């Protein structure tokens, strides 16, 4: 940074008074004295002031709004970035994985939580808390408390999709396209268990007795 000309020095002092005036809430103290620092137009700051900060004395920067630190290097975020977020530029946080929102104050679950699940931090890790009828990392899997038997698939809470040949809430009822006769029972698709003395695919035969 080179030295300032007279004109630019006046301009800078004027802008500083404006800035400080805001901070001091328009105090009646004489200008320049109330500021609490002397502006030196020949001041040198090395390393230079960043982010449009003004070098007011040797190695003293006056930072523009939103920045802080000796050389105005650091952006500040208000409210502060939460949960380990980093302030990228004034008011803009970069959040660590699992957090989101303007100030990283919200827990975010990758891919979201489905079916009414709620994203919550559990030991610092974002996790979906699922309603009782759903499970899985995103609450994407329905639960069938009755169980889905015989190769049935739980497709919605309490609802099984059954393979061919099976029916019922838990796919527990076999279907025999031809009925089992003489008190026989359909025990698996198209298979009858017959009551003695009957036999045959549909229990239609009576065993010969000796």
Ligand X SMILES: *[C@@H]1O[C@H](CO)[C@@H](O)[C@H](O)[C@H]1NC(C)=O
Residues at the site binding ligand X, with contacts judged by CB under 6 A: 40, 44, 58
Pick 16 or 144: Cβ nearer ligand X = 16
Pick 40 or 204: Cβ nearer ligand X = 40
DSSP bridge partners of 186: 192
Neighbours of 27 (CB within 10 A): 11
Q: How far is the CB of 37 from ligand X (least distance, A)?
A: 12
Q: How far is the CB of 31 from ligand X (least distance, A)?
A: 21
Contact between 95 and 83 (Cβ < 8 Å): yes
Pick 2 or 26: Cβ nearer ligand X = 2
Distance CA 125, CA 96 (A): 11
Give the residue closest to ligand X by C-beta.
58
Pick 57 or 149: Cβ nearer ligand X = 57
Q: How far is the CB of 59 from ligand X (least distance, A)?
A: 8
* Residues near 144 by beta carbon (within 8 Å), at least 6 away in sequence: 154, 157, 158, 159, 160, 170
Pick 61 or 87: Cβ nearer ligand X = 61
Q: How far is the CB of 32 from ligand X (least distance, A)?
A: 16
Question: 3-state SS of 141-188?
Answer: EECCCCCCCCCCEEEECCEEECCCCEECCCCCEECCCCCCCCCCEEEE
Q: How far is the CB of 35 from ligand X (least distance, A)?
A: 16
Nearest to 190 by CA among 200, 198, 206: 200
* CA dist list (Å): 109 to 90, 124, 127: 26, 12, 6
């Amino acid at each position: 940074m080179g030295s300032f000309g007279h004109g630019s020095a006046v301009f800078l002092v004027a802008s500083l008074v404006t800035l400080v005036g805001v901070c001091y809430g328009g105090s009646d103290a004489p200008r320049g004295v109330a500021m609490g620092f002397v502006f030196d137009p020949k001041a040198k700051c090395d390393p230079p002031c960043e982010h449009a900060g003004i070098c007011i004395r040797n190695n003293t920067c006056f930072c523009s709004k939103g920045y802080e630190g000796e050389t105005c290097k650091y952006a500040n975020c208000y409210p502060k970035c939460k949960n380990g977020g980093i302030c990228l530029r004034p008011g803009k946080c970069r959040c660590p994985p699992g957090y989101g929102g303007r100030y990283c104050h919200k827990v975010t679950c990758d891919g979201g939580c489905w079916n009414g699940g709620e994203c919550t931090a559990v030991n610092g890790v974002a996790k979906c808390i699922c309603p009782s009828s759903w499970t899985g990392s995103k609450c994407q899997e329905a639960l069938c408390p009755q169980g889905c038997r015989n190769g049935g698939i739980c497709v919605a809470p309490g609802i099984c999709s059954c393979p061919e040949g099976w029916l019922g809430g838990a796919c527990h009822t076999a279907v025999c396209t031809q009925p089992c006769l003489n008190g026989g029972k359909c025990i698996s698709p198209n298979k009858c268990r017959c009551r003695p003395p009957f036999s045959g695919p549909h229990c239609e035969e009576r065993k010969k007795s000796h």
